[in-house]
């Protein structure tokens, strides 16, 4: 009877061990990674790059000086208005709080003059784990670890590293109104590693 149990039990035990290693990836408790990305900035348009006077010759007749007086009122009324130039801005800031794992660092939500939006991590330090992603959610930071997929959320992609400065592009058309937290989310086990409060 015992040899039969060994024949049946040994393969089952091996399968269970492999499945457990795949699911939990325990070696990640001892691994870490880091990236250092610069703060995103707006890209200059061709018009911005070529605006301004040039030192070279110009074609056509040049305006000759005149002694006639100039009506200041007319000059002021015909002068073009200065265009309002969009600027990069910070929509929200927050600091990471522990969830299932200790997590620290600052979060900033940025809107650039060219319309792109980014979630930026600065000084991030969290644990490694399987299937980690970055979300923006409508759930409050510091809540139950598994609550962040209960409501509305926007996926920003896989976590790039467990530490450092990182930028995550918000998809075009994503509605961030009413979002309340940025979350490092483990898709495999449906738990948050760390969360940061934001007010969008």
The secondary structure of 100-141 as a DSSP string is: SS--EEEEEEEE-TTS-EEEEEEEEE----TTEEEEEESSPT
Answer whether residue 2 shows pLDDT above 80: no
- 64: number of CA atoms within 13 Å, CB side? 4
Check pLDDT > 70 for residue 75: no
What pLDDT is recorded for position 43? Answer: 72
Average per-residue pLDDT for the chain = 80
Give the separation between CA 119 and CA 171, rounded to whole angstroms: 11
Distance CA 194, CA 101 (A): 7
* Rounded Cα distance, 126 and 121, in Å: 11
Q: Read off the pLDDT of residues 144-191 as tens digits, 9 standing for 90 and up.
A: 999 999 999 999 999 999 999 999 999 999 999 999 999 999 999 999
Q: Give the pLDDT confidence score for residue 84 in this predicted structure.
A: 56
pLDDT of residue 138: 98
DSSP string for 35-82: EEPPPP-PPPPHHHHH-S--SS--SSPPPPP--S---HHHHHHHSPPP
Confidence bin at 85 (pLDDT 50/70/90): low
Q: Over pLDDT 70: what percentage of the chain?
A: 64
- The proportion of the chain whose per-residue pLDDT surpasses 90, expressed as a percent, equals 62
Three-point CA angle 110, 111, 113, nearest 5°: 135
* pLDDT confidence tier of residue 127, bands split at 50, 70 and 90: very high
Q: What is the pLDDT of residue 19?
A: 44
**Coil, strand or helix at 199:** coil
Among 135, 108, 137, which Cα is nearest to 123's? Answer: 108
| Average pLDDT for 73-94 | 70
DSSP SS3 for 89 = strand
Phi first, then psi: what are they for 147, rounded to 5°?
-90, -10
Predicted pLDDT of residue 8: 56
Among candidate residues 133, 124, 127, 132, the one with its CA nearest the CA of residue 104: 124
Mean pLDDT of 20-34: 61
**pLDDT computed for residue 86 by the predictor:** 80
> Measured between alpha carbons, how far is 194 from 48 in angstroms, rounded to an integer?
41
Q: Is the pLDDT of residue 199 over 60?
A: yes
Specify the pLDDT at position 47.
Answer: 41
User: According to CATH, what is the number of the domain 87-200?
Assistant: 2.60.40.200
pLDDT value at residue 24: 47
Q: Quick one: average pLDDT of 112-130?
A: 97
């Amino acid at each position: 009877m015992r040899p039969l149990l060994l024949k049946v039990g040994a393969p089952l035990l091996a399968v269970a061990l492999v499945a457990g290693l795949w699911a939990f990836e325990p070696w990640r408790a001892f691994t870490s990674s880091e990236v250092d990305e610069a703060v995103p900035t707006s890209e200059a348009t061709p018009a911005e790059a070529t605006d301004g006077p040039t030192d070279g010759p110009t074609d056509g007749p040049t305006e000759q000086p005149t002694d006639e007086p100039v009506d200041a009122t007319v000059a002021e009324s015909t002068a073009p208005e200065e265009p309002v130039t969009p600027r990069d801005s910070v929509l929200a800031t927050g600091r990471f709080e522990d969830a299932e794992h200790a997590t620290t660092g600052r979060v900033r939500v940025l809107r650039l003059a060219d319309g792109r939006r980014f979630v930026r991590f600065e000084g991030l330090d969290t644990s490694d784990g399987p299937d980690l992603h970055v979300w923006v959610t409508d759930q409050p930071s510091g809540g139950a670890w598994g609550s962040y997929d209960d409501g509305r959320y926007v996926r920003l992609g896989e976590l790039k590293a467990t530490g450092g400065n990182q930028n995550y592009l918000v998809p075009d058309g994503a509605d961030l109104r009413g979002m309340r937290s940025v979350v490092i989310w483990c898709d495999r086990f449906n738990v948050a590693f760390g969360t940061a409060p934001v007010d969008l």
